[in-house]
Chains A and B, each alone.
Chain A
Amino acid sequence: MRSLWQWLLPTCVIAGANQAQANGWNMPVGVTDISRDIYGLHMTIFWVCVAIGLLVFGVMFYSLFRYRHSKGAKAAEFHEHTSVEVLWTAIPVLILVGMAVPATATLKNMYDTSEADLDVMIIGQQWRWRYEYLGEDVAFNSNMSTPWEQIRGEAARGEHYLLEVDEPLVLPINRKIRFLMTSDDVIHSWWVPDLAVKQDTIPGFINENWVQINEPGIYRGQCAELCGVNHGFMPIVVHAVEEDEFEIWLAERKEAAEQEAMGVDREWELDELMARGEPVYRAICASCHQAEGQGAPPAFPALANNAQLIDDLDWHIDRIVNGVSGTAMPAFRSTLNPVEIAAVVTYTRNAWGGDTGDAVQPASIAEKIVQ
């Protein structure tokens, strides 16, 4: 009977662990060499803990059962035993040294950011991510795309509820990508479990990390450091693609950016600006200033019926272009293009009954942010 248990118990536990893997109960193995190493370390230390636990709790529950006062157990007299104590100090030390060696190797590997093929700058912002492909002139913001109706329970929740963005970070597989990370306001933390990358983004400072993805796919993560009210709503989506597919994507992005840049010089109609401004407002502004511009004072002032904003166009543009230091209002000078800024300014001045009729031209914005 006992031998049956000896066989059955570990089998059940291991089967359970495999099941856990399939059901999302355990750490993902991930799609990089490092994530696999980490998973290996995780499982090793887990089984070490299970073994020690079985031993310690085994002795403990045996004692509790065997030496019951109610069954007339008489207490023994011993209260120290030096060699046993030395032994149970020495054995854990050996186990720990055994763990420290592979952990050190993995850590050294994680810190080796040299010889990267592509540099991507990751910038945390309340509450979105910005990705800049260094030297490629491609940069964009990545906002959560889950509509607030779903969060409020007014619409059915999609499969990737809270883990979907308007613009994913697209990366090539099989290439070493170096991440440079910083923040515009508070500390955020960029984390994608499948890539085993978690790194704080710290305002004014730069952090490094790297990844080399082995399999194409869509990998999702979230901000892991409390960064204010919408901390739970700044997901990360990484789209890992074949290398040639990545090159095509990169070329398309560059072309689109050029197209947009050409739009700066022409005259825009009010309707056109409003249409362009609404999605920008929803993606960038609505998380703080709310869908109808009603704001959430005192942290986030209302935009609708804001007298100062309506009276003073220059002030309005200045707030958006240059931001307000020490608040969640960043400078959009270099993260939105002049068309987007002009459109969103026009939108906020005319939506929700503002009706100033101002059609702010991209060219006038471009003047204010000349290089």
Chain B
Amino acid sequence: MTERMWNNHEMRSSYDVVIIGGGAHGLATAYYLAKNHGITNIAVIEQKFIGYGGSGRNTAILRSNYRTEEGILFYDQSLKLYEDLAQELDYNLMFSQQGHFTLGHSTASMQALTTRAAYNRALGVNSTILDPPEIKKMLPEIDISNHPRYPIMGALYHPPGGIIRHDAVVWSYARGADQRGVHIHQLTEVQDILVENGEVRGVKTNRGTIHCKQVVSCVAGWSSEICKMVGIKLPLVTHPLQALVTTDYKPWLHHVVVSSTLHIYLSQTDRGELVCGNGIDHYPHYGMRSTLGFLESYAAHLLELFPILHNVTVQRQWAGLCDMTPDYSPIISMVDDVDGFYINCGWGTWGFKGSPASGWNTAQMVAERKTPDMIAAFRHDRYVKNRLVGEKAAASVGN
């Protein structure tokens, strides 16, 4: 019998905090609430199973080379938490800080990358601009000739960026939270959130009602539906994002490579598979289906960068849901009109790398009932107050 990573518990009729969503963000929040703040009477409720959503469907790329001060500091905290996470959770997360390339294919994108490098360095994040021969030295198989439709003009190189085993992050946060007394309830679907006189009273689920004074919504692509239950409209649009994994290939790619112009990013796992991701589908959708069109355009773009890969075969493709915000920054926020309700969403295509800092700060916000400085910029109503945190220029791919 394999050792269970977390236990099944009877559902209590009340908890101090209910976290909706058993992905990396929800579980990290539960873990840090227990570890940093001693709050352990917590239920994490998940409609399917742990890691079913974006946490199990992303391409597990980590980096902090963002564009705004708020973004850079936040993702830098996240990356630093990731660096110590394997030791802290006593779990091999296979974190490999192999370095991260963002390729530029136009003068405009080189300018944007140069600005990012400067901002990054000013805030202590390691980022530099490389020219094509320097790129070629580190990625010998890349085509830096002027034959492709979009020749490479340079790259933003970010040495601390890398990849991690995403399932292991989810499982180890779940185990860490479980060991501290948190209850994880899978196959539990939220039907309503109970609010009285502007205060949270509980959560109605398909397995009965749970009484609580604090509810955290960490449901990414499904956030609009959950927040509607307390009368909050969000600036989110849910789009699918597709990815694929190839069959094993010789160890060949030792860095993460991203090209926003070609809409692709790829990395190689320790098993030799290439994990490849794309931009989001161009219309909103709640279905997680993969398309042939994605496969075709991906293959064409990949071979422009790396002609050597023409024989590599596709093993599997899949899709996940992304909750896109207008400024490509997340929402981590209290709500003025509903005391005890917290929103954690807007993770779009950039969520996995943010989950430790997201959990850390959300936990602090719930425990202290006030917004930590680190995430003050990420309020849900910043849009209508015209306080956007523009990270579109730092998104992996032009969506």
**Are A and B subunits of one complex?**
no
Interface positions of B (Cβ within 8 A of A): none
